[in-house]
Amino acid sequence: MAEDRGVTVCAVEGVPPTRRADVPKLEIDELVDQFLERADEIKRARGRVWALLQSIESVTGDLSLERVLRRIVESACELVGAQYGALGVIGHDSGLEQFIHIGVDDEIAKRIGHLPEGKGLLGALITDPRPIRLRHMTDDSRSTGFPAGHPQMESFLGVPVHVRDEVYGNLYLANSENGEFSADDEELVVALALAAGTAISNARLYREAELRQRWLEASAEVQEQLLSTSGEDPLRTIARRSIEIADADLVTVGLLTPDRDGFVIEFAFGERAEELVARRFPLTGTIGERVIAGGEPYVTAIAGDPQVPSTHVATVIEVGPLISLPLRGNEEPRGLLTLARKRGRRDFTETEVAMAAGFASHASVALELADVRAAEQKMIMLEDRDRIARDLHDHVIQELFAIGLSIEGVAGQLQSIPALADRLRNRVEDLDRAIRRIRTSIFELRGNLAVSQEGLRLSILEVISDVTPALGFPPSVSFAGLLDLQLPEMLTQDVIAAVRETLTNVAKHAHATSVSVDVELAGDELTINVADNGVGVGDPSTASGVANLRTRAGHHHGSFVLTAGPGGGTVAIWRVRTR
C-alpha cells in the first residue's frame, strides 16, 4: 500500500485506488462519539440488569411475608429511582387490605389519616391490572387528587403483582428522579413484579406451613388437657391458643343456655375480653344463630357491616374479619368458638379457617368428655349422698322435731313466766328453720337426677351453683312449700330466670360477702326473696336488670320490689301468682 497526497493506493492487483472521502459516510470523530455513546448505553443497561438481579435476589431471599412485601417496594424504588413507592394488597371487596409505603414518614402518614382505599389511579389498576405510566398524574382523568397533607407527586408508574393466577396487589411508584419514568423503567418494574409474585407465593407457603405446625402443637396441648383430669380447662386452653396462633384480636368460647335461646361467654381472650366473660347474649338475628341452626362455620370479612348479622364481639371492638364455629355435641351444637379481627385487618385465610375448625372439634370433644366425667363423678357420689340424705331425714330431722315438741311442751307449762316461754317458742322457730335448711340440703344431696325427675327446687339450685363462682361464695338457700308440684312451664322458666338475674346483679354490683335466697310457695303465691349485705341498691329505678325482672313478674300478675335491707345491703322480692 502507498499513500500520495490524499490518495490511497491499494497494493492489491485489480482493485482501483479510491479517495478517503469516498469511504465513510460520517466523520471519524462522529463514529467514535456514537460508539462511545452506545458503549455507555450498554454499560448502563448492564448496570440496570445487574440492579434488577440484585433486587430480585433481595426480594426472593426471605420467607417472611411481611419483610418480603416491604423489600419489594424498597427494591422497586431503588431500581428506577422513585422518591415514593407503595404496594397495595387487594382485599375481598376489591379495596386495599394492606398498604406498605416507602418515602412518606410516619408523621406525615399520621396527618393524612386513613390509608388509601383503592380509588382513582390506584383503583384503575385494580379494575384493569395493566401497567400505567404517566408523566403528570393530574393530567389523567382517573386521578382524584390527594388528601390534605399528602406530599406532592408528579410522575407515576403502576404495575400489577400476580401470584399464580390471581392479582395479589399493585406496585405504585411516584416522582422519578429523571422527571418521568421511561419505558425501560416500566419493563424493569414489570420484571421485578414477576419475581415478586414468586417470592410472595413462597412466603405464603412458608407461613402456612409454619402456621400448620403451630396449630398442630396447640392441638397436641389440647389433647393432653383432654386426657388429663387436672390442670387448665381444655376450653380455656383452646381460646388462649387460638388468639395466639390465629393472630386474632378477640377470641371467645360461648355455651348455649338451657333454653337454647342465648349463650353465655365462658372464656374470652384479647382486647376487652374481660367485659364479655359471664355475659349472656341472645341468639336471635345473630351470626351465632346461623351457626347453631346450620351446624356449619360462618366466615366473613365484614362482620361489623349492617348487611351482615350481628355478633356479640361487636359490643366491645370494631370488628371486621370473623370466624364463628359450632361446638358440636352428640346430637346438636352446644356452643360457639368465635375468632375476630378488628376492621381493616387482613381476612382469615383458608388455612386459618381449617385449623380453627379443627380446634372447634377439640372443643366439642372437651364438652363431651366433661359430660362423661361429670356423670361418672355423680355416680360415684350418689351412694354417699343418698346415705347422708337418708340419715339426715330419718334421724336428724326426727330428733330435731322431737326436741321441738319437747320445748313446746315446756313452754306451755311456763305460762307464769311469759318472757321465758316466748324465748323457748323462739327457739322452736329456730329449730323449724334449721329443719327447712336440712331439707334443702337433702334436696341438694339427692339432686342432679334425670331430667324427667327434676323439680323447681333442683333447677333453682343448679342456677345458684352456676352463679356461685361469680359471687365468690355459696349463697344461703331455703325452700318452703310444695315447690316440686307441676307448675306452668313459662312460670318455671321465669322463676329460674328471676333467680339467675337477681343473683347476677348481686355478683356484678353489690360487692357482697353473703347472700340469702328464700323461695316460698304459699297457696297460689310464689315468692323469691334475695337479700345481700352489699353496698346497697342506690336508685332502684336505675338498678341493672330491674325492668326485665318486673316484666317477667308482670307476665304472672306479680311484682318486683328492690329495697334497702334493714341492716344495709339490698333486698329483692319477686312475687307472682301460680294460677
pLDDT at 118: 61
Instruction: Give the other-Cβ count within 10 Å of 8's Cβ.
Output: 14
Kindly tell me the number of DSSP H helices and DSSP E strands found in the chain: 13, 19
Q: What are phi and psi of 149, to 5 degrees?
A: 90, -5
- 68 or 12: which carries more pLDDT confidence? 68
Rounded to whole angstroms, the Cα distance separating 351 from 209 reads 9
- 462 or 134: which carries more pLDDT confidence? 134
pLDDT at 250: 95
- Please state the three-class secondary structure of 29-86 as a single string: HHHHHHHHHHHHHHHHHHHHHHHHHHHHHHHHCCCCHHHHHHHHHHHHHHHHCEEEEE
Closest CA to 100 of 84, 79, 120, 111: 84
pLDDT tens sequence across 518-532: 999 988 899 999 999
pLDDT at 448: 44
Closest CA to 337 of 304, 291, 379: 291
Rounded to whole angstroms, the Cα distance separating 201 from 390 reads 72
pLDDT tens sequence across 26-64: 466 565 555 556 655 555 555 555 555 565 666 666 667
Alpha helices in 392-515 (DSSP H): 397-412, 418-445, 456-471, 489-505
Domains parsed from the chain with CATH numbers? 37-202 (3.30.450.40), 214-361 (3.30.450.40), 458-579 (3.30.565.10)
pLDDT at 565: 86
Give the range among 307-316, 336-345, 483-492 with minimum mean pLDDT: 483-492
Bridge partner list, 262 = 282
pLDDT tens sequence across 376-391: 776 776 667 667 767 7
63, three cell numbers: 420467607
pTM: 0.49
pLDDT at 7: 42
Closest CA to 195 of 68, 315, 291, 308: 68
User: What is the three-class DSSP state of 230?
Assistant: coil
Instruction: Give the other-Cβ count within 10 Å of 133's Cβ.
Output: 18
Q: What are phi and psi of 123, to 5 degrees?
A: -70, -30
Average pLDDT over residues 407-420: 76
Average pLDDT over residues 141-156: 76
Question: Per-residue pLDDT for 425 more than 70?
Answer: yes
* Strongest mean pLDDT among 69-73, 264-268, 403-407: 264-268
**Contact of 326 with 291, CB cutoff 8 Å:** yes
Confidence band for 572, pLDDT divided at 50, 70 and 90: very high
Bridge partner list, 19 = 7
Length of the chain equals 579
Rounded to whole angstroms, the Cα distance separating 134 from 122 reads 13
pLDDT at 5: 43
**What is the DSSP code string of 84-120?**
EEEEEEE-TTSSEEEEEEESS-HHHHHHH-SPP-S-H
Identity at 530, one-letter amino acid code: V
